[in-house]
Amino acid sequence: MPSIPTNSESDIPDLTGKVIFVTGGTSGLGAQSVKTLAQHNPAHIYFSGRNATKAESLIQHLQENDRTKATTITFIPCDLSSLSSVQSAADKILAQESHLDILICNAGTMAVPAATTADGYEIQFATNHIGHALLIRRLIPLLTSAGSSEPTGRIVILSSMGYKMHPFAGINFPTLSTPQNCWGGPVGPWVRYGQSKLANVVYARELARRYPGLMTVSVHPGVVRTGLVDDLSWGKAAFIYLTTLGNMVTVEKGVRNQVWAATAPAQEMVNGGFYVPVGKLEEVDSKARDKELAGTLWEWTEEVIREYL
């Protein structure tokens, strides 16, 4: 049985020569991922976000730290709710790199009010799934360029145990071009959130099936005190605190599962698996295993992002 890591620092292997991209890296789990991975000698870490001021602060912090100053750190502006912004971010990576070893799809939004993006899609689904799907599809050539028969390039998609709050159908495709007010009241934002997190799990499994030369997994970081929680209304935040019964963890602990997934030996992992902290393979529900749903999600997503590929 594979060993289960207990410390995100001591369990991380040397990352010399590795090129890494972390979305949502200006704060929370994304910033902590950048800080943690930078201590293990990667050649280059790219990170994206919308806040250039926070990005500059993080870069300065890493450049002043003896353990991280040797790693090149580059900020890529990106709004995952905008397909053109994601396209531009991917273009920058493609122009600068010949290979990419690790892609951590960390950015996301949670339980926000009903709305659509400028592209016309439900905002949580657009940010948590569509934007990352476009980024992944654009960067797959870099992730698969190593030419090994074993999985080499690594994709880690942050999902959540909250995926289980998905609607009965799993994903309500006919209304994704609306704010999806069909789920009203206080549960609506959580149903939409669960739907987007289900998409993360399903898409990771489908990527593993279609691209077996990559290692693609989805992860639940635990219930982590980040800006996603702090930015909620008092009622939604109270729901989180009351339902987690004291199980909320710090960012330093919460980052361990995604860092493990990004760096653990491929032979210790199941391609397409869903992992809970730390490094524990979790059985997913019937909707997450639904092959028909996976096929529909793939085709629907391909149609949405086609002109940006």
Q: What confidence tens digit (pLDDT) does each residue in 116-142 have?
A: 999 999 999 999 999 999 999 999 999
pLDDT at 245 over 60: no
* CA-closest candidate to residue 258, choices 301, 226, 302: 226
pLDDT at residue 186 in the model:
85
pLDDT at 233 over 60: no
pLDDT at residue 236 in the model:
45
Q: How confident is the model at residue 287 (pLDDT cuts 50, 70, 90)?
A: very high
pLDDT at residue 150 in the model:
59
pLDDT > 70 in the chain, percent: 86
Q: Which residues does the annotation mark as catalytic?
A: 159, 193, 197
Q: How far is CA 16 from the centre of its chain?
A: 23
pLDDT at 254 over 50: yes
Residue-averaged pLDDT of the chain: 90
* CA-closest candidate to residue 6, choices 256, 305, 249: 256
Q: How confident is the model at residue 225 (pLDDT cuts 50, 70, 90)?
A: low
Q: What confidence tens digit (pLDDT) does each residue in 144-183 have?
A: 864 455 567 999 999 999 999 999 999 999 999 999 998 8
